[in-house]
A = this chain, B = another copy of it.
């Protein structure tokens, strides 16, 4: 097979031996694979793939057709359309994933949507609902709402009946984020005027958490899943005590296969029906042939786009 490969921080489209599915794994002919911030970090050497994943082929998510079945698989058959979050190796013609971590692709969902769906929506669903316990009527701040996880979170929180305040630095993106279901879209410094918040989802860094701490509601849950702009936070613990609030962090990639399977089942039960009936969408800005990954990564890194960049196979 051909795969995107990290060679001394360059991306090369090169030949590999075809992988063989181990027990419990699906072998998938990849049709589309979204680019995520973690791919850029991995390329720079800051975010190594977990054990068991290819160390030099990036790609945290993909969609494609099942072409091989490991021993003990039972749910999917050759030819089925699947999509998944994976530890790495998704940006290749063939990829492996534990069957328990794969999701069926609804019939009406196109490959490029499916390939860009799993990482952002699994991350956003897990953070908002499993970690933060978001409920209807909660007031939620989503900080960094124009990115992949942010646009997923805005849609999921809106669909669940929360009041969504979206914090987006670029005012050019405000109307698009509002169209996804945000009740209010503000620049980061204004977020403090739109509380109190029951839930705060932080995708940018410590400054966003510091901004929200003074306007947390009683029993508030802050969940941090991105710290690209800084990870060091000073907290007044007495303020947490008075509000009975928690600050937590979360990431998907370091979890066990069993934990990822639990996330996949929750997404299948609670998010796929919304995708299937069109209540949520995967904003796609560009499809790029996988062999041109280098150029696609450069455009992703430049930022300023609204929607995911998806690598597609021939």
Decide: A248 and B251 in contact? CB cutoff 8 A: no
The docked-state distance in angstroms from the alpha carbon of A231 to that of B244 is: 15
Query: Which residues from chain A sit less than 8 Å from chain B, CB to CB?
Result: 131, 202, 205-206, 209, 224-225, 227, 231-251, 254-255
Decide: A224 and B240 in contact? CB cutoff 8 A: yes
Known: A233-B234, A234-B233. A249 touches B254 (CB 8 A): no
Inside 8 A of A236's CB, which chain B residues have their CB?
231-232
Decide: A248 and B250 in contact? CB cutoff 8 A: no
The docked-state distance in angstroms from the alpha carbon of A131 to that of B202 is: 22
The docked-state distance in angstroms from the alpha carbon of A243 to that of B251 is: 8
The docked-state distance in angstroms from the alpha carbon of A238 to that of B206 is: 10
The docked-state distance in angstroms from the alpha carbon of A137 to that of B225 is: 28
The docked-state distance in angstroms from the alpha carbon of A108 to that of B202 is: 52
The docked-state distance in angstroms from the alpha carbon of A244 to that of B259 is: 12
Decide: A240 and B249 in contact? CB cutoff 8 A: yes
The docked-state distance in angstroms from the alpha carbon of A244 to that of B232 is: 16
Decide: B235 and A241 in contact? CB cutoff 8 A: no
Inside 8 A of A234's CB, which chain B residues have their CB?
232-235
Inside 8 A of A231's CB, which chain B residues have their CB?
236-238
Inside 8 A of A248's CB, which chain B residues have their CB?
240, 244-247
Decide: A244 and B235 in contact? CB cutoff 8 A: no
Residue of B nearest to A221 (CB): B246
Partner of A241, one of B225, B237, B240, B246: B225
Decide: B249 and A238 in contact? CB cutoff 8 A: yes
Decide: A209 and B237 in contact? CB cutoff 8 A: yes
The docked-state distance in angstroms from the alpha carbon of A225 to that of B242 is: 10
The docked-state distance in angstroms from the alpha carbon of A202 to that of B240 is: 13
List 10 additional contacts besides A241-B249, A246-B249; criterion CB under 8 Å: A233-B234, A233-B237, A238-B249, A241-B250, A241-B251, A242-B254, A244-B248, A244-B251, A245-B248, A247-B247
Partner of A238, one of B227, B244, B247: B227
Inside 8 A of A224's CB, which chain B residues have their CB?
237, 240-241
The docked-state distance in angstroms from the alpha carbon of A254 to that of B238 is: 12
In the complex, what's the smallest C-beta–C-beta distance from A87 to chain B, in angstroms?
Answer: 15
